[in-house]
Chain A
């Protein structure tokens, strides 16, 4: 059988063995997933986002199922920087996973502290900056909502680390291409998109929002067309590599994102119903490439959009 080359290059030292990663917030820190498969087989493991101090997360209910999707308001519960380094990284190193650490913050200073500290830690291949966090200092709007604040954040973080910095974009802004451009200019090495779309559900009997936090992030198959459209738009706006996220549950979805211009994809919600979905998708991509006679990187951006 011919060997298909599944490797993809996201720039600044981030070359992956295959285009499939886990999505932050859907994979813990890899231990639970390891009960089901060898997580070093993923192109990369993107772990739950880390803040400087531990965060308890939001009160329940934190979940509600929606048509072909779900809303979550977990509230970024995580063990915090020091416990992540001392308790979670050793396991990830021991299984040989390619680790990308998602980074949170309530202020530019907090993000910077986390990035700086993680840069000194062995076994981390890249940082993914979650810019959908509210800027608590500046009235609570998420950093990723406008190009200005997003760029300012990334500019500061660029000075804290030489590591590959992937910036995860929010779909809840008015101009994702504008945010993408600003963040590229500020020094991002790659962009991952999209994060979850803000949504809500109401209980008719109680007349209250179902989620404890009122609103939450919509994920799953329902958002895939939106995510794909945004990847297509951002591809035309920036030159740096892209990672597609949003409702991917099969190889053919991943292939769409790659044709639209993403070098790689993240798979999140689909993992909840099928712990082997990432491996399945890698295999389905391989099968497609066997048929088409291409390597993974040939596929990237091969969308024929005419005059689009």
Chain B
């Protein structure tokens, strides 16, 4: 807390202002918050969403922030998710106007790429939100022309409709497992073809196996790579130690919290064994 003590602050309240499927197996929700007097979230940060006012499901669920816009005194926050369990199933049923509660923004976001650098974004599946948020931020600063997005999904109809976003100059390569859109295959195959991508700023969020492959591929190259990892979480704000992953700190193996020391990690902090996932 900085400045005067504003008193206790806990869960924020908001209302569902938009909700629905935006692609196959991809749900989008916009949460409106009446008053947002805090700094904006940083791309890479996440929310812990209460999905029940009862004891079951018990725990809040983590969602990366895909977009943030101030609206007068308040704000609109966009999240993207898949229906994978009881928590997300409950969310998908919330009507417009539903009051919801969440903690956030939480965690460590991306370090913005230096001016004039070539930026590569590797997104896989439900890993798109933090990279979308990063791209939007770069667009707002007039830097989209430096961006290349590699976006991978099993099929053509699962992609977030990027054409609905204002991302002028961003180059996008789609990869699909079945070849139904863009290039057939994985983003890592595209990366292999590029050879040495030293000198770029690389950002990645997606299936853990994809990020691990990228991590291995670029080790030994001169570049900055940041990975937004995921983990099972109970609290999301650093007190339970449940989300910890193994890393090396000064050569010593230790566990750090994905919710607090992450979810964004610089590649230099990680080892192959850090890519644990859910």
Query: Chain A interface (Cβ within 8 Å of chain B)?
Result: 25-28, 32-38, 48, 56-57, 59-65, 67-70, 72, 74, 77, 220-222, 249, 269, 271-276, 279
Q: How far is the CA of A162 from the CA of B207 in the complex (A)?
A: 54
- Across the interface, name the chain A residue whose C-beta is closest to B258: A60
Q: Is the beta-carbon distance between B11 and A272 smaller than 8 angstroms? A: no
- Nearest B residue (CB) for A54: B254
- Determine if B21 is an interface residue (Cβ-Cβ < 8 Å): no
Contact call A271/B232, Cβ cutoff below 8 A = no
Quick one: given A60-B245, A72-B234, are A273 and B60 in contact (CB under 8 Å)? Answer: yes
| A–B Cβ pairs within 8 angstroms, 27 of them | A26-B239, A26-B240, A27-B239, A32-B237, A35-B1, A38-B5, A60-B276, A62-B242, A63-B233, A63-B240, A64-B232, A65-B57, A65-B58, A67-B56, A69-B58, A77-B241, A77-B244, A77-B255, A220-B55, A269-B58, A272-B60, A272-B239, A272-B240, A273-B59, A273-B60, A274-B10, A275-B11
From known contacts A62-B232, A279-B8, infer whether A271 and B239 are also in contact, taking CB-CB under 8 Å: yes
Residues of B within 8 A of A (CB): 1, 5, 7-11, 50, 55-60, 103, 231-246, 253-255, 260, 276, 278
A residues near B276, Cβ cutoff 8 Å: 60
A60 adjacent to B9 (CB under 8 Å): no
Nearest A-chain residue to B276, judged by Cβ: A60
CB distance from A225 to the nearest CB of B (A): 13
Residues of A within 8 A of B233 (CB): 63
Complex contact B241–A59 (CB within 8 A): no
Contact A32-B239, Cβ < 8 Å, known A60-B245, A220-B55:
yes
List the B side residues contacting A221 at CB < 8 Å. Answer: 55, 58
A38 CB to closest chain B CB, in angstroms?
A: 7
Chain A min CB distance to B59 (Å): 5
Q: Which residues of A contact B9 (CB under 8 A)?
A: 36-37
A273 / chain B contacts, CB cutoff of 8 Å: 50, 58-60
Structural contact, A74 and B239, CB atoms closer than 8 A: no
Say yes or no: A275 contacts B103, CB within 8 Å: yes
Chain A min CB distance to B7 (Å):
8
Contact among B7, B58, B60, B242 with A68 in the assembled complex (CB-CB below 8 Å): B58
Cβ A61 vs Cβ B232 within 8 A: yes
Chain B positions within 8 Å of A26 at CB level: 235, 239-240
Closest Cβ–Cβ distance, residue B240 to chain A (whole Å): 6
Residues of A within 8 A of B60 (CB): 272-273
Are A57 and B244 in contact, CB atoms less than 8 angstroms apart?
yes
B207 to chain A, nearest CB (A): 16
What residues on A are CB-neighbors of B59 within 8 Å? 65, 70, 272-273
Q: How far is the CB of A92 from chain B (nearest CB, A)?
A: 14
What residues of chain B lie closer than 8 Å to A279, measured between beta carbons?
8
Q: For the complex, what is the distance from the CA of A35 to the CA of B9, rounded to whole Å?
A: 8
A27 to B255, CA, bound (A): 17
Besides A37-B9, A70-B59, 15 other A-B contacts (C-beta < 8 A)? A28-B238, A33-B239, A34-B1, A35-B1, A35-B237, A37-B8, A38-B8, A56-B254, A60-B243, A65-B57, A65-B58, A74-B240, A271-B239, A272-B240, A274-B11
Cβ 8 A contact of A272, one of B55, B231, B235: B235
Q: Which residue of A lies closest to B103 (CB)?
A: A275
- What is the chain B residue whose CB lies nearest that of A76? B241
Contact A70/B58 with A60-B232, A63-B240, A77-B255 known, Cβ cut-off 8 Å: yes
- Assess the B235–A271 pair: CB atoms within 8 A: yes
Contact status of A28 and B232, CB under 8 A, knowing A68-B56, A69-B58, A220-B58? no
* A32/B260 contact (C-beta < 8 A), A26-B239, A77-B241 known: yes
Q: A57 contacts which of B56, B238, B255 (Cβ < 8 Å)?
A: B255
**In the complex, A276→B237 CA distance in Å?**
13
A276-B11 contact in complex given A65-B57, A68-B56, C-beta closer than 8 Å:
yes
In contact, A62 and B58 (Cβ under 8 angstroms): no
Closest to B252 in A: A56
Take A36-B8, A274-B10, A276-B11 as given contacts and tell me if A68 and B255 are in contact as well, using a CB distance cutoff of 8 Å.
no
Instruction: Among B1, B9, B241, B253, find the residue whose CB has the most chain A CB atoms closer than 10 A.
Output: B241
Residue from A35, A69, A72, A274 in contact with B240 in the complex, judged by beta carbons closer than 8 Å: A72
Q: Tell me, in angstroms, the Cα distance from A301 to B158 when the chains sit together.
A: 60
Contacts of A61 in B (CB 8 A): 232, 278
Q: Which residues of A contact B278 (CB under 8 A)?
A: 61
For B57, list chain A residues within 8 Å (CB): 65
Known: A26-B239, A276-B11. A63 touches B58 (CB 8 A): no
Closest A-chain residue to B52, C-beta based?
A: A273
Residues on B with beta carbons closer than 8 Å to the beta carbon of A274: 10-11
Cα A274 to Cα B52 with chains together (Å):
12
A221 to B57 alpha-carbon distance, docked (Å)? 11
Report the separation of the CA atoms of residues A74 and B232 in the bound assembly, to the nearest whole angstrom: 12
Contact across chains for B231 and A70 when beta carbons are under 8 A apart: no
Alpha-carbon separation in the docked complex, A33 to B56 (Å)? 24
Closest chain-B Cβ to A58's Cβ sits at a distance in Å of 9
